[in-house]
Structure 1
Amino acid sequence: MSQWKNHVPLLSGIVSSWIVFFIFMSQHVSAQDSCPKITQWLLKDGFHRDLLSRVKLGAVDEDTGSCMVAIKIHLPKGLYVDPYELTSLNKHNITEALLFGDYVDLEAPEYLATEIAVLLYMKPDPECRYCFRGILPLHCRYHQPAEVDGEVSAILKSPEILVHCQKAFLSAECLKEIKIEEPCSRKNKHNCNWDSVKFQAVNQELKLQIPVGLKHHVTLVCTGTLVTTILCSSLILSALVKHGDFLFVQSSL
């Protein structure tokens, strides 16, 4: 009996420690639940897709109207964005995105391309309270022929979420330690101090299946291309010979 009494303080201390641990963890999980959530969808099929992203800021107050939200997307070598298309979409107020880097080779195949980073500025989503959304057109690059499988995968990793508000409202558990200086918008190149925030990904990493050619089709494709080229060239040459005088008269006039 005396031995049991000696263990009572030890057991009480262990129980108290576990109670404190569970209380702390419940508060931490609750704080994490209030962090922003991001959901992404891939729209359309084929080589030309649209990436739709939605960020929900979580349990916040009414001051989100003074906030700007952006996501930094890192594209693998198998995907690219067209800077000329982004310029057109920005003029029509459809998509506002800033491309990092001065040049994107639109014709380069996947094995000669480099990774691309894009800063997509989000707009308030009228269909969701405290939500921001943005759409980014993506294009798939051509890949080297495969041995067996006629598809390769391009994986889109989770983006970075950047928030800039006049009034701080996110909990400390949601904020990363460093601030990031990036342009305030595509038109306003003045840098803003963005908060890089932790978030919850509602869905998993997105994977695009890109069709590729098969190596054992090389002979067939090359032969077909050569025959088609010779046939079309012959038809053009035949038309020039047949109507050469008419073309010459027209050009002299």
Structure 2
Amino acid sequence: MFRCCLLVTLLCFIHRGNSEEADCFPSEWLKSVSMSVKISKAGFHRDLHYRVQWSKTEQEVHALLVQKLPSGVYMDEYQLDTLRRDTGLEVLLDSKVDVEAPEYLSSGFTALVFLSGRREAVVPVHGRYHRPSDSSKRVKVELESPRLLLRSEQCERGVAVDAPCTASNHSICSWTEILELEDHAGVSLELPVGDSSMIISVCGVTVLTTVLCCVYLLRNIWKHGSF
């Protein structure tokens, strides 16, 4: 709980500044920066593939993705902890996520994906159950493109964004937000939706099956049980 409260407070510092001041990196080098986001797998359990590229530089560059996610999907913090232990990838969520709640009882959240020491990341994301519908069999969930922030230890001025330094160090560092990217489109996924026209028949069959099973069990208990 303390970790979540602290992260929410730190996220309040993530703000855009004057982009004209973002001269920590040469303008020609910034043109080489690119980012791609893809989604793989099917059904309710997907993977978000992030890839950030830039040309060779003498500076050690750290990358941070600020990904906003709608109420239709969620990330499992326990799964992310396992991913951190197994691969070293660090992802922070700005709020506690109820993995059992349906879409209509949930709210969106923000994930911070730290790419320090790497340029690619695969982050699991899961779809939530939506309200049943009698007009649509599937629902489309849109995920907007993440904000890309870069930071270098050699760069201490001309910044555009303040954000947490790392996933484990919650102090604030100065980052440069990359605004002009070639592949800056979001991704989407389709999730199956329950058929509301089948509610009566499904409930009827469920109740009937339950009653028959109870009758069968009571009959055998009465016949073979000792009282």
TM-score by length of structure 1 reads 0.69
Write the mapping of 1:167-178 to structure 2, written as runs, cut at 5 A.
167-168=154-155, 178=160
Amino acid of the structure 2 residue aligned with 1:121: F
Equivalent residue for 1:206? 187
Q: Matched residue of 1:189: which SS?
A: coil
Amino acid of the structure 1 residue aligned with 2:115: M
Equivalent residue for 1:227? 208
Write the mapping of 1:64-103 to structure 2, written as runs, cut at 5 A.
66-101=60-95, 103=96
Q: Gaps spanning 5+ residues in structure 2: where?
A: 1-26
Asked whether the 8 Å contact 1:82–1:104 carries over to 2, the reply is yes
Larger Cα Rg: Structure 1 or Structure 2?
1
Equivalent residue for 1:217? 198
**Residue 180 (structure 1) aligned to one of 146, 155, 162:** 162
In structure 1, distance between residues paired with 2:63 and 2:115: 6
Amino acid of the structure 2 residue aligned with 1:95: L
Asked whether the 8 Å contact 1:151–1:209 carries over to 2, the reply is yes
Distance 1:165 1:241, change over 3 A: farther
More contact order relative to length (CA 8 Å, sep ≥ 6): 2
In structure 1, distance between residues paired with 2:141 and 2:166: 28
Asked whether the 8 Å contact 1:42–1:51 carries over to 2, the reply is yes
Asked whether the 8 Å contact 2:142–2:189 carries over to 1, the reply is yes
In structure 1, distance between residues paired with 2:87 and 2:112: 16
Matched, 1:139 2:126: yes
Amino acid of the structure 2 residue aligned with 1:50: D
Q: Matched residue of 1:188: which SS?
A: coil
In structure 2, distance between residues paired with 1:93 and 1:200: 28
Distance 1:237 1:191, change over 3 A: farther
In structure 1, distance between residues paired with 2:114 and 2:218: 53
Equivalent residue for 1:61? 57
**Cα deviations by residue, 1:42-78 (Å, 9 ceiling, x for unpaired):** 1111001110100112x34232xx2211101100110
Identity score, percent: 31
Distance 1:145 1:192, change over 3 A: same
In structure 2, distance between residues paired with 1:91 and 1:45: 26
Q: RMSD over aligned Cα, in angstroms? A: 2.8
Q: How many residues align?
A: 201
Asked whether the 8 Å contact 1:70–1:163 carries over to 2, the reply is yes
Amino acid of the structure 1 residue aligned with 2:98: D
Equivalent residue for 1:9? none
**Residue 142 (structure 2) aligned to one of 139, 151, 155:** 155
Q: Gaps spanning 5+ residues in structure 1: where?
A: 1-29, 126-131, 169-174, 249-253
Distance 1:151 1:191, change over 3 A: same
Distance 1:216 1:164, change over 3 A: same
TM-score by length of structure 2 reads 0.76
Deviation (angstroms), 1:35:
4.7
Deviation (angstroms), 1:185:
2.2
